[in-house]
Chain A
């Protein structure tokens, strides 16, 4: 019963450098100090392949390049050099509330936000009732978003993202949303997602979550992948970081 797994994400020699600017450059500065720009290498020569259905936990200290890595895969930014090939629809749960318009109603925001993260109009119409039901904001749905509580906005954002049905899901620290009851519901939903054949990349400092849900772990440090493998990678990392 051996079948070849399809490639979901493939990075080859991906480097990302940022121009380090202490001040935003102006025209004048740009012409006078053209060569004086400091460079910061966020990721250097990363080559890695994820197969379809893999559940990958991304670990490492802050500033190691985890978020840059996820942003590159999501297509939010492009690498300075190297190639990234992805197969399938990608949805990132990086900032759940981003893109909400405070003056529009919940309904209007569902449409806008769902299209924003890459759902088709038809798909939103199909999923519309389910999104509202899951977010548990029934009677507020036709009120403007500024009347919502923080938790309601998070729930709505989570509900939209979860119904987008991506092939590749990127979770960045956003695993918890809303109150206890909703967190449980959301957690169950995420766990159910982990049972499917989706490719999932999670970056979080919540070790328990990773331990329960991921099979492969990648450890970043200073812009490089220093470890890649099974649960042993996580154990080693938590042991080292506790000392």
Chain B
């Protein structure tokens, strides 16, 4: 328990000083998983033997005095839509229930090269469609702060495992808020990088123009450490970007926020948001202002149509991406009388309800007669949303908002009302549509449940988000709270 409570930075320091071994660290994480994960259900599979084997390799090398890479011995969890060669990869979907990944995602390869100990596969909504992790074919994940509530989603497993001290950090994917929203609901840090900062090679795609892979951690410093390992150009993903060399020190070099211009968009404080959530976020703004930040109200006028544009573009791209699950090359294959029947039966059996609804929506908005009124219209609105952000980010350095309008809700509460579920992402989807970086950082509690605030920055300016976030954590203690200390 004690060691799994460490941040990555703390664990690294102790490992390097040989105060602890990687085996000790993995052993405490495994104990923590055994104590809590039966209830929380963040893991779909724990790689216990592999994890100990990797830890022993690191320990042996350290004892021999070999130079070790940056994450040597650090226990990390992986969302189950990121491929790990030879391991199952289900994306929370029945159609991939028995699928074994043939190769490593670039992110996974870079983590392995950095010496990380991969602890297991983490739960998620069916094909990453959902905001609560309840649509997983393998059953829901619970929120460690209140086991009767959802952890958010779709990266509920990564968020819950990081919050419950079963791993020191994790990786998830964010298409409309799937990293930031569960991070907020579980009281951890979660970042969606700028579109193109991280290679998507080996990620089971949901919506290719919106998807990004990003880190979960308990501190901003750790999130920055994790992002640095996975980011940068990869020839296997043509949309991945060439980046200037960055160092962690550069990411975190703020000592205060004097003169930093923070924009607060009035459209992000809406009717229907929980009063206590708004209070916590207003407290963050006041605190940063008292440390010299210049706060100004800004306007992102198309916020009120972002969700609508998102729920056209995302299903449209998803319906195309999921066309590959036809039972031919991998996954389940049913047998029908004709080839068309084989496709239909295979897909009918293999996809869950949420996914079917999304495929149908996507098919509709792309179908002849409707594509202009829906899909192309949504792309035009997307352009306007991006222009809104460009304009605001010329006058401020960073935008500060709530991450989610509510705290974690009871399991089952929104399952039969898709639009109610969609509203959980109202503060996060715009960032994906505009391709910008966003980070959620814990800022206290409302009725015992974690609240997060979101920072949104200019494209490829993750550094400013990290600096502000790191400064905030250096003057507050919220990120130290553990669900097991209650």
Decide whether A and B are members of one complex. Answer: no
| Chain A residues within 8 Å of B, Cβ to Cβ | none
